[in-house]
Amino acid sequence: MAWQSVGSATAADGWVQIPQPLTSDVIRVSYDAAFPAQIFVEGYLRLLWDLNTYGYDWYRLYPKGGISEVYRLDFLLPADGSYPRIEIRRRRSGQSAAVSWSIFVEEWR
Structural domain of 44: 3-108
pLDDT, position 75: 78
The 10s digit of each residue's pLDDT in 38-91 is 778 889 999 998 877 888 889 999 888 778 999 999 877 676 778 899 999 988
* Domain of residue 100, CATH code: 2.60.120
Strands (E) across 2-100 are located at 3-10, 16-18, 26-33, 43-50, 53-54, 59-61, 68-72, 85-90
- Structural domain count of the chain: 1
